[in-house]
Chain A
Amino acid sequence: VINSLLWTPLLFGLLGLFAPKRLVGWWATLGAAVTLGLAIALLAGFDSGTPGLQDTVDVNWIPGLGVDYSLGIDGLNVFLVLLTAVLWTGSVAFAAVREQERPHLFFLLMLLGETATLGAFIAQDLLLFVLFFDLMLVPFYFLFGAWGSDREGGPTAAAATLKMIVYTLIGSLLMLVAAIATAIIAADGGQITFSIADLANHPLAEGSQRWVFWFFAAAFLVKMPAFLLHGWMPDAYRAAPLPVLAVFSGVLAKVGAYGFLRVVLPLFPDATVQFQEVVLVIALASILYGSVMAFTQTNVRLVAGYSSIAQLGFITAGIFALRADGADGAILQMVNHGLVVAPLFIIVAILAERSGTEDLREMGGMAMRAPVLAALFLIVTLATLAMPGSANFIGEFYILNGLFQAKIVFAFVAISGVAMSAYYALRLYQRTMHNRRPEGIASRELSLRDGLVLVPLVLCIVGLALYPQLILHRTDRSASAAVTAAANPPTGLMRPQDGRERPVELASVTTGLGRLHGGRNRPVGGEGR
């Protein structure tokens, strides 16, 4: 299943080259939908009881260089794979109902992007991971550059895209060197292997870990993007075509966070502990900076873009709490953020079509004749600001929970991010949907076709809000395994093997919140066991 999951999108994309122009979009949608079906099948077959990888494929790919074609699913990636499949189906469908220039190439690149992203998520060989990680860039380079829009008085789409590529490749090329160094040092003259599981058993000496850690961290932090490494984001986000941006922001940013969990924490535990606070500072800076920038931006895309920086800051903080809670929350939040931000960009696209602008100051009153659109947007907004009752709330709660246990000072700062998210999310909603409607802006209801794309995505948010255990239950074991290497904690806080009875040593406020809104013990909706 896992092989066909990986290659189905590309196969459909290539066959799509022969489809007539009118149908190629629908053909691509079918391809994404089939992939989604396979991802669901994979999830259905996923056994949350077994530790380690499932559904593995392991073939010698380049024996001369020690590189294997090795794939596998575990709790860390199973939902990210599903997220990828869901968002791609939505975006491709949304693009298919609109006219695209050179549609054959557009959809081929979209689907190639899906294959590369899925590959990055399920690769279990370090080098294969790096390969897919870099490969993701190629289709998005073309999609942003050739289908993006030039900005008046600003850089062209091609220039903005080049900036993005150079930024992101700085990280990933260094990561290539670091990955090879890791394998060679670990092999110590023996047979070289890039298998992540094997490498985790032969940790490097602390000195090597330090530089290798930063080479990897650079790649992942740029991808997210984190504060100070986000320079490519504003231009690229303004240039990108919106359906592409939806998956880019929704999924690709998560590959960076996922990389920390999959690669950095298990392989470089000493360096992780050593640099924990540095990364946490970067994460908090991202939260604060992203939130503040999101207040002030007037371009709708950038509000969403900067809010993503803040959200990814949260996720990073959760991972680097080095507690099982934090990692659980981070994974949940990755899925949540993807599910929120992709519909957000699709709504932005719909709003931009109606108003002819992406400037908040010139928008308003969109809700007047469009109650359904307004309702959907409201759900997305409330999820973005992590309203209690939404899955985002639970994700953030877990992250903060982990952070409180690990570094209480950082947790207090991070909390301010929660408050700020309310401001920018509501501001975005009010400025577009409420207020007086300026001249020349039409308030039109969602068309049926767009509704068919948007409603299922919003339903995913609602569904996850009702039943976050779906994710938490399956990720828990892998998430705690990922952090154990790093978190054989200095404070001696060992985590019991069965997470369910874990005592919650927290300030009573947060404990109370957990009781109310469904921590691990009492899932929302009463499905407690």
Chain B
Amino acid sequence: MAFQAPAIDYAALSPVIALTAGICVVLMTAVLRALRRTAAGLTLLTLATTAGLLIWQWGDSVDLVSGALRLDDLAISISLIAVLTAAFAVLLSLREPAVEQAGPGEYHALLLGSVLGMVLLAQAQNLVSFFVAIETLSIPLYILCATDLIRERSLESGLKYLIVGSLGSATLLYGMAFLYGGSGSTDFSGIATGIGADGVLGDPLVLVGIAMTGVGLAFKSSIAPFHQWTPDVYEGAPTPVTSFMAVATKAAAFAVFVRFFDVALAPQASEWQPALAVLAAASIVIGNVGALGQDSLKRLLGYSGIAQAGYILGGLVVASEAGIEALVFYLAAYAFMNLAAFSVIVARERETPYGDDIRAVRGLGAERPLLAWPLTISMLALAGLPATAGFIGKLYLIEALVEGDYTWLAVFIAVGTMVSLAYYLRVVAAMWMRSGEEGATATAIAGASPEADPIDPEAGRRPYLAGPALLAAAAVVFFGIIPQPLVEFAQHAGASLF
């Protein structure tokens, strides 16, 4: 009997292969002292290669590894967002103290490891590959959060994330076990047929399984009421890592969210829609209200991220092609908006003794217009003002929601956006306006501990910080005025599931 070698679609697996090879190479630089300085460059090269291979596969949709993974436009688009974010994070990490302490090789290898997890997660359509991918994504992040070894807050952040993240993973895994028990399959499509007849509500095993899986996912994508870790972890982690977490993790988690709910549970849509809608509404309320009083910009963006996750979840709630398109569009816009903001925060952290406190950006408009503009654009876009990608994203989401008969959630988004103006514009006001608020209490310092990090008064002029900020802000404005390319990008992603 001849051995039948399984057919391996190397082309479709090439992005994953490239990333894995990249991790090995980058890790090697940690061993060979002479190559220490090349880690960042090699990481960027790996990411560029991966992006190139992903774009090469654009338009394909194939099942891989006996159906455990699926490479389609949804996976590719989410992977591209993750890879792009990682590339920004690498640039922002240049000269970051955390990188020196952790060792550039290790730091970048971990970063790439997390990206690998995201790329896999975006393709996962089987409970096992789903779980493996989400752990591949998470474990490097736990470590990355704690890489700023001399800052207590960074260690605290890593530990907190580890504990909460493990709890999330455990819940997820437990839920998967129930789901397997109830449906008899680990494949998403198998689950769909397995529970098809009785419906979700008929079978307690399946219901508990879905609930717990949903909760686990909500932990990962920081959706209220499973969000409590977000502000603390965001604040404590080194800022480049925060930026990567805030954007890429969210994108990847939403990718699998979409696949899980819109493939495995598609037949029962009407039963889980109300539950997710409530979660979305709760996120919008809690995120926006929580952000109001924040002085730390990273905490502020953390809470704003919770609210934005609520908006994005709206795209999933309607379980339609338009919903998925809106979700992908908003994720892409969200990536640019947040990356612009985080680039400026990193620059100001290094320039001023205020860390990520809002005082760090006071008077920025007059002092450093090239940093003030990206942050301004980012804040206006997050608030959904026109001529930015944020406006088009909201428009897309609201259109999908109204079409899917969830107008009340659309109104929630509008109301949440109004509340959000109060804190986004506070940042803008600090930059451009003579603010009477918060007098001259310059001693107490929130956020990062400044005594540890050397101040680089020229940080804002360094091209690897100002460049990403300007680039991301330009993208926000460009896609706000000419959104069609991004709309088509999202339409491809949406079409691959339906």
Interface residues of A (CB under 8 A from B): 61-65, 67, 102, 127, 131-132, 134-135, 137-138, 141-142, 145-146, 150, 156-159, 161-162, 165-166, 169-170, 173-174, 176-177, 180-181, 184, 192
Residues of B within 8 A of A61 (CB): 484
CB-nearest residue of chain B to A112: B387
Q: Is the CB of B425 within 8 A of A176?
A: no
Q: Give the residue among A62, A134, A180 with the most B Cβ atoms within 10 A.
A: A180
Binary per-residue interface labels of chain B (261-285) against chain A in the complex, 1 for a CB within 8 Å, 0 otherwise: 0000000000000000000000000
A65, B434: Cβ atoms closer than 8 Å: no
Q: Which residues of A contact B491 (CB under 8 A)?
A: 64
- In contact, B402 and A169 (Cβ under 8 angstroms): no
Return the contact of B483 from the options A62, A102, A176 (Cβ within 8 A): A62
CB distance from B365 to the nearest CB of A (A): 7
A162 touches B384 (CB 8 A): no
Residues of B with C-beta under 8 A to A145: 429, 432-433
A127 & B437 in contact (Cβ 8 Å cutoff): no
Which residue of B has the minimal Cβ distance to A130?
Answer: B386
Give min CB distance, A226 to chain B, whole Å.
19
> Are A62 and B429 in contact, with the CB atoms below 8 A?
no
Interface range on chain B: under 10, 10 to 19, 20 to 34, or 35 or more? Answer: 35 or more
Whether B226 sits at the interface, judged by CB under 8 Å, is no
Interface SS of chain B: helix
Shortest C-beta distance, A403 to chain B (Å), equals 34
CB-based contact B422/A62 at 8 Å: no
A180: B residues at CB distance < 8 A: 395, 398-399, 402, 410
- Give chain A residues whose Cβ lies under 8 Å from the Cβ of B50: none
A169 to B403, CA, bound (A): 23
Q: How far is the CB of A11 from chain B (nearest CB, A)?
A: 14
22 sampled A-B residue pairs with Cβ under 8 A? A63-B484, A64-B484, A64-B490, A64-B491, A65-B395, A131-B391, A135-B385, A135-B387, A145-B429, A145-B432, A146-B434, A156-B434, A156-B436, A158-B429, A162-B429, A166-B418, A169-B417, A173-B384, A174-B414, A176-B395, A180-B410, A181-B402
List the 8 closest pairs (A to B, CB-CB), nearest first: A64-B487, A173-B414, A158-B429, A158-B433, A156-B436, A131-B386, A135-B386, A145-B433
From A127, A138, A162, A177, name the one whose CB has the most chain B CB atoms within 10 angstroms.
A177
A184 touches B403 (CB 8 A): yes
Given contacts A62-B487, A145-B432, A158-B429, contact A137 B385 (CB under 8 A): yes
A67 to B395, CA, bound (A): 10
Taking CB atoms, residues of chain A closer than 8 Å to B303 are none
The answer to whether A134 touches B391, judged by C-beta atoms less than 8 angstroms apart, is yes
Query: A132's closest neighbor in chain B, by CB?
Result: B386
Contact partner, B433, options A63, A146, A174, Cβ 8 Å: A146
Contact indicator B434/A134 (Cβ below 8 Å)? no
How far is A318 from B422 in the complex, measured between Cα atoms in Å? 35
B64 within 8 Å of A (CB atoms): no
Q: A134-B391, A176-B398, A184-B399 are in contact. Are A65 and B417 (CB under 8 A)?
A: no
Q: Are B421 and A156 in contact (CB under 8 A)?
A: no
From residue A70, how far is it (CB to closest CB) to chain B in Å?
A: 16
- Closest A residue to B414 by beta carbon equals A173
Inter-chain CA distance A165–B384, complex, in Å, is: 13
List of B residues within 8 angstroms of A156 by Cβ: 433-437
Q: How far is the CA of A159 from the CA of B403 in the complex (A)?
A: 37
Contact A162–B425 (Cβ < 8 Å): yes
Across-interface contacts of A65 in B (CB, < 8 A):
392, 395-396, 399, 487
Contact with A along B419-430 (1 / 0, CB 8 A): 001100110110
- CA–CA, A132 and B365, complex, Å: 25
Is A177 in contact with B437, judged by CB distance below 8 angstroms? no
Q: Which residues of B contact A170 (CB under 8 A)?
A: 418
The answer to whether B80 has its CB under 8 Å from any CB of chain A is no
Residue from the list B391, B425, B426, B435 in contact with A141, Cβ < 8 A: B425
Contact between B437 and A62, CB atoms less than 8 A apart:
no
A134 contacts which chain B residues (CB < 8 A)? 385-386, 391
Residues of A within 8 A of B487 (CB): 62, 64-65
B407 in contact (CB, < 8 A): yes
Known A-B contacts A134-B385, A162-B422; the reply to A177 vs B407 at CB < 8 A is: yes
Nearest B residue to A187 via CB reads: B403
Per-residue interface assignment for chain B, residues 440 to 454, with 1 indicating a CB less than 8 Å from any chain A CB and 0 otherwise: 000000000000000
- Which residue of B365, B415, B421, B436 is within 8 Å of A165 (Cβ)? B421
A63 to B484: give the CA distance in the assembly, Å.
7
In Å, the complex CA distance between A174 and B394 comes to 12
Q: What residues of chain A lie closer than 8 Å to B380, measured between beta carbons? A: 138
Answer whether residue B201 sits at the interface, using C-beta atoms and an 8 A cutoff.
Answer: no
Closest to A128 in B: B386
- The one of B385, B417, B418, B436 in contact with A138, judged by C-beta atoms closer than 8 angstroms, is B385
Kindly provide the distance from the CB of B209 to the nearest chain A CB, expressed in whole angstroms.
35
Output the least CB separation between B327 and chain A (Å): 14
Complex-state Cα separation, A192 to B395, whole angstroms:
13
Which of B402, B415, B490, B491 gathers most chain A CB within 10 Å?
Answer: B402
Q: How far is the CA of A142 from the CA of B490 in the complex (A)?
A: 33
**Are the CB atoms of A150 and B436 closer together than 8 Å?**
yes
Q: Taking A180-B395, A180-B399 as given, write out 15 further A-B residue pairs in contact, using a Cβ cutoff of 8 Å, ordered by the A residue number.
A: A64-B484, A64-B488, A64-B490, A131-B387, A131-B391, A132-B386, A134-B385, A135-B387, A145-B432, A150-B434, A157-B433, A173-B384, A177-B407, A177-B414, A180-B410
Q: Is B170 an interface residue (CB 8 A)?
A: no
- Output the nearest chain A residue to B366 by Cβ-Cβ distance: A102
Cα distance A54–B209 when bound, in Å? 61
Is B150 interfacial (CB-CB < 8 Å)?
A: no
Residue of A nearest to B376 (CB): A142
Contact between chains at A177 and B398 (CB < 8 Å): yes
User: How far is it, in angstroms, between the C-alpha of A145 and the C-alpha of B432 when the chains are bound?
Assistant: 8
Taking the closest CB of chain B, its distance from the CB of A266, in whole angstroms, is 21
